Structure 1
Amino acid sequence: MSNKPQATRPLQLALSVSLALAAWPALAQTTSDKTQLETVTITAERRVENIKDVPTAVSSISGEKLEVLNSSGQDVRFLSGRVPSLNIESSFGRAFPRFYIRGLGNTDFRLNASQPVSLIYDDVVQENPILKGFPAFDMKSIEVIAGPQGTLFGRNTPAGVVKFESVKPSKKQEGYFNVSYGTYGTANAEGAFNLPLGGAWSARLSAQVQRRDNWVKNQLPTAVTKETEGYNDRAVRLQALYEPGQDFSALFNVHNRELKGSPRMFRGNVIKPGSNNELVDGFDPEKAYFDGQNTQRLHATGGSARLKWGFDGFNLHSITAIEAVQPFSRADIDGGYIYHNPFSADPRPTPYAGGEGHATWQMETSDALKNHRQLSQELRVESTTAGPLRWQGGLYLFDERYDMVQGDYATPTPSFVVTRQTNKAWALFGSVNYQLSPALNVRGGLRYTQDKKDLALQSGTVNTSNGTSASTDNKKVSWDLSGTYALSKEINLYARVATGFRAASIYPASGFGPLSQARPETVTSYEAGVKSEFWDRRARLSANVFTYTVKDQQITAVGGTSNFNTLLNASKGQGRGFELNLDLIPIDNLLLTLGTSYNDTEIKDRTLALPRSGSNPVVLDPLVAGGNYSISGNVLPNAPKWIANVTARYAIPMPSGDEFFIYTDWAYRSKVNYFLYDSKEYTGRALLEGGLRLGYIWGNGKYEAAVFGRNITNQIRVTGAIDFDNMTGFINDPRTYGVQFKALF
């Protein structure tokens, strides 16, 4: 008998709890704002709606919770595990986050990698993985919308959408300033100022500066990079709103990011061979041993114009955007040093040989984008008339081009490979909502997409066994159908079936391996859930169960016996699980939130097998013909089965109107596989990180001072690895703490 959880049980439990709590008497008679949950409105279906009425799994983070998570200078990876089924990791540092929803993501580290999770920032698709790292500041909200989302949103959304929405300008003169300082010289300064310009114009200027000292010291006496892990990350956004009346508005957005710092800190031989992903004895996170250069810089600039015209019975929206990004990252990939390096005039001393940081051969590379430019245009029409029928539809255009420059520094004279990729896509989409009865609402959507890619080598010496150029041309129809039934005023039930599509991908040829391609993948998902509010809006509960099947799933074999990156198709990938969100005010001034998810994923393809990597881990997969190991039946990489998060905020009001508060937040993820194969050393251990914040608010809420700590238990885990040479890994941030001050004006 299977020991896997029955998928329907969490939904049955959530429905039972909702019915019981809805019937329970209100915990308190007062209905002041401080004893009620704020109404959450979202734009998951391109309209402003109450989160309870949207028939899909959506999690929203805003307000104080978002501010707390962003207080310690971390990049967008601070969102990882903070909502059900969301995992974010990176082997590239702050510049290149990789998103996973319900286990679906992409471990590909190349700069033309296609991800099945789409990031939408202020209504603009951020397609290139480097664009997805733009900082989150002056945010109205962040929404995580489970996939597939193949009808209304941009492109490549089979796993879902992460949607950032910044605060818009208004005609009220106001602003804020928020600054913190803590361990390792970590500083985070954020501010915004809203400026009425007179007449129909208003503007908002927002900025953020994040910095940290180099806190990891290189122990090699002849090291080129003596310190690392510091950064200086600056971003600014200027918005101008023209709103002459009810029938027209124009919102203009210009933004920029400048990053200078360190790439991911790879640590050679840091994983104990034969162990369950344990760090070597005597490991010190503030020490490293490597002989290459570590440096990273990034310049990104973009702009958009969001126009809306109001006509009799419908609105017309136009979103025109341009994005350009120029990253450069150079890193010691093996994370160590070469004992008796033939290119060094000063061989490494004997005490380092074979220990932490030792490498058997040198791997130092760089990756950069040049001439990057992304253009996108959307025209969308939505109905505004009253009645049971609502509809929307539109046209989407996408055009991107760039040159990828890969450098190899393993010899005294570096070599470079330049590859150009262009990507053009367009789509027609439409969606209809119909209120069949006061209790029953149905929705349906349809999208036709055409996606073309062209990739060609421009210069450099590469493996030509599969050629040096390739082109793709894919066409696909995706759709969704859902229904919402109001069981009572407080409880909605919903069900949804949806399909998604991700276009074919191309991996460029290099000196490490040949060109490779992956066919398009398609996803079909089934989901059912319950959403409810009760106890006079002191509690909010949502829960769902889901199952999905990916046909021709695109997967990436990374590492192995050399620094290769190969695209593959698995004939099938499957996942199923459940998700739950609960917000609760059990007593006045105490706010609790809980989110949890279970994701059971599996690769299903008996023909797929991979070689054992050069670091010789203990592989747990069955050995098949040819000396390779079958990966069929393995879980997807970076797909934890369990994710959970908890927050608690308790306020102590003062007679003067001031307030003391204590806030704690915790995020947990279970073990993960770093690669497609299953091994002892490269199965990441479970990770639990917690934060604590103590603060005081005064001046009618205008001023706030706080002390905070992140990863307060100082749990250090390997969170990713490189497997081609030695037992190289990278870790999460150690414990940090600091002080924070915020002022509204």
Structure 2
Amino acid sequence: MSKVIFARKSLFLGAAVGALLCAGVASAQDAPVAAAPEAASGDGLQDIVVTAERRSENLQKVPLSVAVVGGEELRNFQTGGEDILSLAGRVPGLYAETTTGRIFPRFYIRGLGNIDFYLGASQPVSIIQDDVVLEHVVLKSNPVFDVNQVEVLRGPQGSLFGRNTTAGIIKFDTIRPSNEFSARASASYGSYNTVTFDGGIGGPIAGDVLSLRISALYQHRDDWVDNTYVAPATFPSTDGTVSPKKNAMGGFNEKDIRVQLLYTPDSDFSLLLSAHKRDYDGTSTIFHRGALKKGSNDISAEPRDRIALDEAQNNPQAYKTSGGQLKMNYDFGPVALTSITAVEGALGYSRGDTDGGAGVNFPFSVAPAVPAPNGFGQSQGNLRGLTQFTQELRLASDGDGPFKWQIGGMYFDQRDVTEFYQRTYFLLPNQPTYNPNNFVRLHDVNTSWAIFGQASYQVTPALTITAGGRITEDKKQTRLVRSVLNATGKTDMFPVTAPRFVELKDTQPSWDISALYEVSPDFSIYARVARGFRGPTIQGRSAVFNSAFTTAQSETIVSWEGGFKSKLFNDTLRFNASAFYYTVNDIQLNGNDSNGNGVLFNADKAKAYGMEADLDLRPIRNLTLTAGLSLLHSEIKDKRVFAQACSLNGVLVCTVQDPIVSRNPADGKTTPGITYYGPNTTYFAQIDGNPLPNAPKYTVDFTGRYDLPISDSGKVFIATDWNLQGYTNLVLYKTKEFYANGNFEGGVKVGYTGGNGDWEIALFGRNITNEKNLKGVIENYMAAVFNEPRVVGISFSGKLH
């Protein structure tokens, strides 16, 4: 069976790479990639307009690497109930995953991201939704619905958008109100009672002056994972979790609404007022303990729909978010002024059985000890309240002259109160280790201001030079408001010598310079160099384990890239490519301490190089093909840095392939090699030369759609999309277990469109081959996180205008 799967993946890889190479010498890092293409209604490809530089421009004329996914393509991916993570693998250079459920997506661009699951974690990929930066990880999970377009800007982006980012930006633009009536909706029903509705309706409500749009999203899936734990009389659940229980977890309910009001009294002034609200409840990430066996990466034996959990009430989570913005534009003639004021808020919790199994099923013994239940672990993160305020002012030149410029400023203020609870808090009161005081409360403040500007000049009709700069101050504060107390509430467990308040601040420049040369109207080349930085970071969650905060100073990046863009053969082929090289100095990394808790630290640097290429091809009138390819080589460069490796009760449970040292808990001394000193022994692996975590060596995407007209207004169609992911290390150190290689997933859709494309009915399948892919791990429990199961169903979409 494994040989058949390997052959199938190899055939797919060869076909997709062949499609890229056969398309000719041109470039497409900015085409809509790995997304189900639109119906091939015309002979050629349509131009794509982007706002990657805060003004509407043809994608082929923008001197940086931008990938675009249209709203319809994104909705096709999410038909089976998927969320924002569905972008992973559909855009070359972009990867996404989570080990904390739907409320905590983590994004990586060109290998740069952050594997930290801390609620206050800083990420080098920024999310921009309707021109507003969403900084906190919970805000980044805000569902995208009634979307017009998604743009992925690869590489440092420090001149124009929101916060500084060393990796890149994912920019979501929703459908805005207009003075013409329009309505659209898509609905689907599939396996596990999966229901999705995504729609919007809008138009004028007071002549040409006032217009309204209301958008909504509803998603539901029944619980489909069984908790099979049958507790022996001597080891019942210590926190009251009911088991065995059929269909105990795995489902979710997502309810979202957005209202936008646009006021345009004349052609010079516009005011957009919008508000949105989210109500979500579901299941946190399910960790399958022991799915990985020492020395092997094979997860085929672990069922995806069954797990034995003895604690954590089957991993519930629930969040509410809300927000709004006021955007004003005034055109003075030669210049235009834009003001964007926005407020975001969130609160909620996520609880999980972090050991991913029942301790009694994984007995621990080291001679001459008697085997005993092993590895009890559960935790809960509470976001008691979060507010984010942003204000941006921007003044930009207006017109089509050879010289264009923008200047502006931004202020950012985020405050939250976050709590972390550990296992003994949740135990039944009759348990001897029950401790109702086993939680901490933190108050975090992050403020930032920036002044930025950008200018471009068309030196000749063929050559345009663009340069931008930014000065940013970023300040973070974390205060321990409440520390862990003992069970009687009389003894504070936090170290007396550790600070309870930490403040970090840094001011840094960011800049970029690019040149675009139009060789011909159909072919351009560009080059870009950029510097970015990510501000200092504080990790406060360690306080719940009575450990001091850990911190990391700012990281900086200098990135070089070049590429070319083209649209050839009478607009039937768009094929672009880019190559890049970057160095990140003082890169912020996240490892684990002896409790499995995240620890921040800086490594000297990381280096990477690679390329991205993608194409759109319409070889005949009714056939559209797309393909995308990314290649990446990344390395951590620091011989002094060691990361704690997988251990449980002092035993190294995985196969580490890096140089390793053992730490004696009695005296704190380390010894080269693997030496067991007792149940508190810890092991550290040297990570110099290792790839960045969650940085695939390659990704390949392919989509196709064929339409067969059967009447003047109707067509039968078949569409498919596939993606393949190369070797991806999931942790900082190298092992025989904690990596993914050959993750493979595809979708199929067959249906009918009528009314000249105004409505569609179809049968669909997501993860149609039901691949079980490794997406994450909990190291000390050899636990695996899997991708979504196969979902098949029926969908309907329509629009009025």
TM-score (normalizing by structure 1): 0.92
Alignment-derived partner of residue 506 in structure 1? 538
Which amino acid in structure 1 is aligned with residue 278 of structure 2? R
Distance 1:708 1:66, change over 3 A: same
CA distance in 2, matches of 1:556, 1:359: 29
Q: Given the alignment, which residue of 490, 495, 519 partners 1:487?
A: 519
Alignment of 1:561-576 (within 5 A): 561-576=594-609
Which amino acid in structure 1 is aligned with residue 796 of structure 2? F
CA distance in 2, matches of 1:127, 1:114: 8
Alignment of 1:121-520 (within 5 A): 121-199=129-207, 200-221=209-230, 223-224=241-242, 226=245, 227-275=248-296, 277-279=297-299, 281=301, 283-292=302-311, 293=313, 294-339=315-360, 360-410=374-424, 411-414=433-436, 415-461=438-484, 463-464=494-495, 466-508=498-540, 509-512=542-545, 513-520=547-554
Q: Does 1:688 align with 2:744?
A: yes
CA distance in 2, matches of 1:685, 1:551: 28
Distance 1:215 1:359, change over 3 A: farther
Which amino acid in structure 1 is aligned with residue 51 of structure 2? T
CA distance in 1, matches of 2:22, 2:520: 15
CA distance in 2, matches of 1:146, 1:696: 36
Alignment-derived partner of residue 489 in structure 2? none
The question of whether the paired residues in 2 share the 8 Å contact of 1:180 and 1:738 is answered with yes
Where do 5+ consecutive residues of structure 2 fail to align? 1-16, 28-39, 232-240, 364-369, 425-432, 485-492, 662-669, 673-683
Q: 1:145 is paired with a residue of what secondary structure?
A: strand
Q: 2:619 is paired with a residue of what secondary structure?
A: coil
Distance 1:244 1:214, change over 3 A: same
Which amino acid in structure 2 is aligned with residue 736 of structure 1? V
The question of whether the paired residues in 2 share the 8 Å contact of 1:15 and 1:530 is answered with no
Which amino acid in structure 1 is aligned with residue 434 of structure 2? P
CA distance in 1, matches of 2:609, 2:622: 37
Q: Does 1:524 align with 2:538?
A: no
CA distance in 2, matches of 1:448, 1:471: 20
CA distance in 2, matches of 1:75, 1:573: 31
Alignment-derived partner of residue 542 in structure 1? 576
Alignment-derived partner of residue 656 in structure 2? 619
CA distance in 2, matches of 1:436, 1:14: 35
Distance 1:63 1:109, change over 3 A: closer
Q: 1:402 is paired with a residue of what secondary structure?
A: strand
The question of whether the paired residues in 2 share the 8 Å contact of 1:685 and 1:717 is answered with no
Q: 2:26 is paired with a residue of what secondary structure?
A: helix
The question of whether the paired residues in 2 share the 8 Å contact of 1:271 and 1:280 is answered with no
Q: 1:130 is paired with a residue of what secondary structure?
A: helix
Q: 1:67 is paired with a residue of what secondary structure?
A: helix
CA distance in 1, matches of 2:23, 2:558: 25
Seq. identity, %: 39
Deviation at 1:296, TM superposition (A): 0.3
The question of whether the paired residues in 2 share the 8 Å contact of 1:595 and 1:646 is answered with yes
CA distance in 2, matches of 1:668, 1:588: 28
CA distance in 2, matches of 1:288, 1:61: 36
Alignment of 1:45-64 (within 5 A): 45-64=53-72
Deviation at 1:463, TM superposition (A): 4.5
CA distance in 2, matches of 1:273, 1:717: 18
CA distance in 1, matches of 2:423, 2:786: 25
Q: Given the alignment, which residue of 647, 652, 671 partners 2:727?
A: 671
Q: 1:646 is paired with a residue of what secondary structure?
A: strand
The question of whether the paired residues in 1 share the 8 Å contact of 2:26 and 2:577 is answered with no
Deviation at 1:63, TM superposition (A): 4.2
The question of whether the paired residues in 2 share the 8 Å contact of 1:14 and 1:530 is answered with no
Deviation at 1:340, TM superposition (A): 9.0
Deviation at 1:359, TM superposition (A): 6.7
Alignment-derived partner of residue 639 in structure 1? 695
Deviations 1:197-241 (A, max 9, x none): 113000000001011000000001354363001000111110010
CA distance in 2, matches of 1:341, 1:279: 18
CA distance in 2, matches of 1:16, 1:324: 49
Which amino acid in structure 2 is aligned with residue 447 of structure 1? R
CA distance in 2, matches of 1:210, 1:249: 33
CA distance in 2, matches of 1:470, 1:561: 23
Q: 2:102 is paired with a residue of what secondary structure?
A: helix
Q: 2:276 is paired with a residue of what secondary structure?
A: strand
The question of whether the paired residues in 1 share the 8 Å contact of 2:71 and 2:146 is answered with no
Alignment-derived partner of residue 428 in structure 2? none
Deviation at 1:338, TM superposition (A): 2.3
CA distance in 1, matches of 2:254, 2:400: 47
CA distance in 2, matches of 1:611, 1:34: 57
CA distance in 1, matches of 2:137, 2:644: 28
Q: Does 1:603 align with 2:636?
A: yes
CA distance in 1, matches of 2:107, 2:529: 23
Greater shift in the superposed pair: 698-707 or 436-445: 698-707
Deviation at 1:735, TM superposition (A): 1.3
Where do 5+ consecutive residues of structure 1 fail to align? 1-8, 20-31, 343-352
Distance 1:307 1:284, change over 3 A: same
The question of whether the paired residues in 1 share the 8 Å contact of 2:766 and 2:792 is answered with yes
Which amino acid in structure 1 is aligned with residue 213 of structure 2? R
Q: Does 1:590 align with 2:590?
A: no
CA distance in 1, matches of 2:522, 2:333: 34
Q: Given the alignment, which residue of 754, 766, 772 partners 1:710?
A: 766
CA distance in 2, matches of 1:329, 1:738: 30
Q: 1:315 is paired with a residue of what secondary structure?
A: strand
Deviation at 1:173, TM superposition (A): 1.9
Q: 1:487 is paired with a residue of what secondary structure?
A: strand
Deviation at 1:174, TM superposition (A): 2.2
The question of whether the paired residues in 2 share the 8 Å contact of 1:618 and 1:679 is answered with yes
CA distance in 1, matches of 2:49, 2:603: 38
CA distance in 2, matches of 1:142, 1:399: 26
CA distance in 2, matches of 1:241, 1:718: 45
Q: 1:78 is paired with a residue of what secondary structure?
A: helix
CA distance in 2, matches of 1:525, 1:359: 50
CA distance in 2, matches of 1:591, 1:503: 43
Q: Given the alignment, which residue of 706, 718, 726 partners 1:650?
A: 706
CA distance in 2, matches of 1:441, 1:335: 55
Which amino acid in structure 2 is aligned with residue 278 of structure 1? D
Q: 1:118 is paired with a residue of what secondary structure?
A: strand
Distance 1:565 1:405, change over 3 A: same
Which amino acid in structure 1 is aligned with residue 422 of structure 2? D
CA distance in 2, matches of 1:278, 1:363: 24
Alignment-derived partner of residue 109 in structure 1? 117
CA distance in 1, matches of 2:141, 2:310: 28
CA distance in 1, matches of 2:526, 2:74: 28
Deviations 1:486-512 (A, max 9, x none): 000100100000000100000014233
Distance 1:243 1:416, change over 3 A: same
The question of whether the paired residues in 2 share the 8 Å contact of 1:582 and 1:593 is answered with yes
**Higher relative CO (CA 8 A, sep ≥ 6), structure 1 or 2?**
2
Which amino acid in structure 2 is aligned with residue 64 of structure 1? E
